[in-house]
A and B are shown apart, each in its own frame.
Chain A
Amino acid sequence: MAVNTIEQQALLELAPTRERPFQLTDHLSAVRAASVVVVALLWEVFGRQVNPLFLSYPSAIARAFVNLLATGELLRQAIGSLQVFAIGLSAALVLGILIGLLMGRYRLAEYLLDPYVYAFDATPRVALIPLLLLWFGLGASSKIAIVFLSGLFPVLMNTFSGVRTVSAHLVDIGRAYGAGEGKIFTQIIVPAALPFIMTGVRLAVGRALIGIITAEMFTAVTGMGALLVRYSSALATDKFFVPVIFLALLGVGLSNGVERLQKRLAPWKETESAR
């Protein structure tokens, strides 16, 4: 301790000025805030000079946002989109998990189905949109089909590989203690594969959101995607940005929600196959 006090005394006597010179790296959040403010200001100033048909500016977008919110247009279309999204996504989750469990557990199911699963998974889903429109028309059913197909494969593939990684020991022990096939599924395989399944769910939510937007942009009748097409063809650029921002927030909100759910349901395993 004595050494310490001597050192401190020495430091006090010498009084080295330890002022750090100003460095930008010490004020990163200020840099970040400044960057946002400057870009918003530049956008506002230049956006006002440009023809409003081509580029809008932040305050006009904010005004359009309030307008669309006040007339209820935004909420009505959003609810329409979300209903279709929910139906298609839940169908995809249920079927994806079921097929994934079957394919992971039973080799016969795996070998029978994997040619189709891999072929479908490789096909860009957007390429199927014109075909689905041809078959299901422009109504809700074609949108549900597109959301379903967008969400199905991430869940299916992740569930499948999750079940495949369940250690055979766990299943053997379950069997040794007389667990039936149903119990092995619900109490061993599903919990062990849950982190993978949840990763699949998170991917599926993102894909399904893109699916619903693309589908609605093509049918261009109802929903957020239809709003995008309508405002852009009407050259109402300020209104166009409103659904864009809304969709971005929705995407972030949904993926945060699923991530939280994932941490809650499957906190024991952090590993995930990022596909």
Chain B
Amino acid sequence: MAQTTDEQLIDDLGLRRERRWSLYDHPNIIRTASVLVFLAVWEFYGRRTDPLLFTYPTAIIAAFVKLLVSGELIRQLLVSVSALAAGFALSLFLGVTLGLVMGRSRVAEALFEPHINALYATPQVALTPLLMMWLGLGFSVKVAVIFLFAFFPVLINTASGAKNVSASMIEVGRAYLASRGQIMFKVVLPAALPFIMAGVRIAVGRAVVGMIIAELFTAITGLGAMLSLYGNIFETAKMFVVIIVLAVLGVTLIHAAQTLERKMAQWKETERAVG
């Protein structure tokens, strides 16, 4: 109510001033202009360079259509995504399970923590050659690399979520004679869910990176293999297609994880705002 009276007061006193039209109020005009100019310059100069090394937007679009029509792009995308799904599901399952155990039992935490910390500190890329030595160049090595990349964020976030469950909630559960399993699945897990989802969001991005790295190294199937193949035969326009597809895949998955996080972990936000 106070606001409307303020507004009325301004009107009554004849103080209302029209804001001058400013470009800053329309940032999308600036953005569009920037992108259009950039694309035009790229197209113009890109046509003059050696097509083996560089390319230009229309050539990328042509390459995209060609790869889409031939079905190559979709086929390799499916291969990549299935490895991603398998590796991610594995890291989600094991990460949440071990995380809950480590978060609830201090003995389990002490048992696993040194090894987890050591593995987590190791740059995961460095372990890729070893995994290739053990698992070969097929599907399983991709799953293993993706697992390794995505596992730790899920595990660490789940453990800290389970550790932070308020003791009074567990006490209430115990007072109502909940079994250990019930406390775990009906009290601890839901309470830790916001943390788990934050871990999932980080893990999704890392899983995509792991997938690309594994496929670049094995270089047989999948989007990463396409990338390395086109690099070797100097098909720069096709490389750009794959890079753009990978970027879109990453953004879509992270966005989906964020949406899921907001949906599944709604109550935490309000609880935190109070606390």
What secondary structure prevails in chain B residues at the interface with A?
helix
The answer, yes or no, to whether A210 is at the interface (CB within 8 Å) is: yes
* B residues in contact with A116, CB < 8 Å: 38
The answer, yes or no, to whether B24 is at the interface (CB within 8 Å) is: yes
Kindly identify, within residues 86 to 132 of chain B, every residue whose CB is under 8 Å from any CB belonging to chain A. 106-107, 109-115, 118, 121-123, 125-130, 132
In contact, B246 and A127 (Cβ under 8 angstroms): yes
Interface residues on A, range: 35 or more
Q: How many A-B residue pairs have CB under 8 A?
A: 135
- With contacts A115-B34, A126-B213, A127-B243 taken as known, whether A247 is within 8 angstroms of B123 at the C-beta atoms is yes
Q: Which residue of A lies closest to B105 (CB)?
A: A25
The answer, yes or no, to whether B46 is at the interface (CB within 8 Å) is: no
The answer, yes or no, to whether B83 is at the interface (CB within 8 Å) is: no
In contact, B231 and A244 (Cβ under 8 angstroms): no
Bitwise, A32-68 to B at CB < 8 A (1) or not (0) is: 1001100100000000000000100000000000000
Interface size of B by Cβ–Cβ distance < 8 Å?
A: 51
Q: Which of B106, B111, B118, B230 has the most CB of A within 10 A?
A: B111
**Whole-angstrom distance between the alpha carbons of A157 and B44 in the complex?**
30
Measured between C-beta atoms, what is the minimum distance from B268 to chain A in Å? 16
Bitwise, A127-147 to B at CB < 8 A (1) or not (0) is: 111110111000000000000
**Whole-angstrom distance between the alpha carbons of A24 and B108 in the complex?**
10
A-to-B contact residues, CB < 8 Å: 24-25, 28-29, 31-32, 35-36, 39, 54, 107-108, 110-116, 119, 122-124, 126-131, 133-135, 209-210, 213-214, 217-218, 225, 228-229, 232-233, 235, 237, 240, 243-245, 247-249, 251-252
> 15 other contacts beyond A113-B34, A131-B231, A245-B122, with CB at 8 A cut-off?
A31-B107, A32-B111, A54-B133, A107-B27, A108-B24, A112-B30, A115-B34, A130-B231, A131-B243, A134-B236, A134-B239, A214-B213, A217-B125, A233-B129, A247-B126
Q: 26 A-B pairs, CB-CB below 8 angstroms?
A: A28-B107, A31-B110, A31-B111, A112-B31, A112-B34, A114-B31, A115-B35, A124-B246, A127-B243, A127-B246, A128-B243, A129-B216, A131-B231, A131-B236, A131-B239, A134-B236, A134-B239, A210-B123, A213-B125, A213-B126, A232-B130, A232-B132, A232-B133, A244-B122, A248-B121, A252-B121
